Amino acid sequence: MNIKYGPLFEGFSFSNGIQLKNRIVMAPMTNFSSNPDGTVTEAEVKYYARRAGGVGMVITACTYVTRNGMGFHGEFGGDTDSLIPSLRQLASAIKEQGAKAILQIFHGGRQVPPELVPNGDVVSASAVPAEGAGKPIPRELSEKEIESIIHDFGETTRRAIEAGYDGVEIHGANGYLLQQFFSPNSNRREDRWGGSLEKRLAFPMAVVDEVTRVVEAHAKEPFIVGYRFSPEEPETPGITMADTLVLIDALAEKNLNYLHVSLQDFWSTPRRGVEDTRSRIEIIQERVGNRVPVIGVGSIYTADDSLKAIQTGVPLIALARELIIDPDWVQKVEQGREDEIVTKIDKNKQAELVLPDPLWQAIINSPGWFPGVE
C-alpha cells in the first residue's frame, strides 16, 4: 500500500466498543431487486457479498418498517417477524466477508408510489404533496398513527437484532417521512408534532428514543445506532443549513454512534441559512464531530478523492456508486493498485460486477446517474 493512503486503513472504534477494520463504508443504495413479498433475493445477497470484502461496514438499502412506508419497487421489508429469516440471510452474507452489517430502516411517507401501499393510502406529516407533476396528495397522519409508526421503528430494530445485524441506521434523509416531519415544506401541523422548529423535531427525536430504548432492552451485545440526514432542501419553505445545525445539535445529545450526511457531492456548499463558504460536511464536522462521529459521502471515486475527504477530519468515508462500479476498490488501494481502480461503469460487465438485473437496468437506462452512462 502507498503509505499516503494509510489514514483510510486505520481501525476505528465506536463509543460502544464495536471496531471497524478501516475507515471505508459502503453507503446505502436502493437496488430494486427484492422479491414481491419483501424477502431478499439470491441475486441481492450476492451483490452485497461481492462488495463487503473490503469495507469496514456495509449499510444496506432502506427497509420499510411499516407496510405503507414501502418506497420502491423491489424493496425488502422489515415490518413483520416473518421476514427475520430474510433479514438474517443478508446480515450473514455481509458479516461472512468481514464487514459490519447495518440495516437502514425507514418509512417513505409522501414519497411512496401509491401502487405499492395498501389501498394506495399515501401518508405524511401534512396533506402537502411533494413537488413535481402528478405527485399524490398525502393524508395527514393522526396522532395515533404517528405513535404506531414510532413503535414500528422500534419493532424493526428488534428484528434487526434478532437477525444478527451489528446495528441500524435511521433514515432521516432524502425527503422521506422523518425529514417530512422536520421540514417546514411538508409539515404544516399545529399540534405537538409541528409548528415551531422544535416541534418539527419531535417525531425524529421520538423515533431515535424508541430505537435506542429497544436496543437497550433487546441487544445482548453492543449494537450501533446511526442517523442519516440531508442538510438542506431546495424547496421554499424548506430545510436550511441553519435548521440542520439545530437538528444535529439535538441528535448529538442522543448518544448515537454516528451521523451520516446524505449528499451527491462531498464538497457541496450551503445554499442558505449560514454565511460560510466551506463545504456542508466541514461545517457539520466542526459543529458536532467532537461529540458524535460523522460519515461523509458524495461523488468519491478515486483513492485521492477519499484521502482528501478524510483529511477534513471526518472519521469515516462512505462510497456509493463507486463500489458498484468497482467492487474491489478497497482491496486495490490496500494492495497498492490504486491505478487499476475503475471509475466508469463498464456496460459489458454486469455478470462480473454481480449486479442484479433490476439494478443493472436502472443504471444503464438512467443517463447521468453513473459515470460512463451517456
Helix ranges (DSSP H) in 253-302: 280-288
DSSP character at residue 77: B
- Spatial contact of 2 and 338, defined as CB atoms under 8 Å apart: yes
- The SS3 assignment for 13 reads strand
Angle between helices 202-218 and 241-252 (to 10 degrees): 30
Residue type, 96: E
Nearest Cα neighbor of 22 from 297, 312, 249, 333 is: 333
**Cα 264 to chain centroid, rounded:** 13
DSSP character at residue 356: -
Choose the catalytic residue: 64, 176, 227, 258. 176
Q: Is 64 a catalytic residue?
A: no
Residue 369: all three cell numbers together: 446517474
- Spatial contact of 67 and 106, defined as CB atoms under 8 Å apart: no
Q: How many residues does the chain have?
A: 374
**φ and ψ at 336, to 5 degrees?**
75, 25
d(CA 321, CA 214): 32
d(CA 304, CA 2): 11
Residue 309: all three cell numbers together: 475527504
d(CA 125, CA 144): 13
d(CA 98, CA 121): 41
Residue type, 206: A
DSSP character at residue 19: E
Which residues lie across from 123 on neighbouring strands? Answer: 139
d(CA 310, CA 341): 19
Positions marked active-site: 176
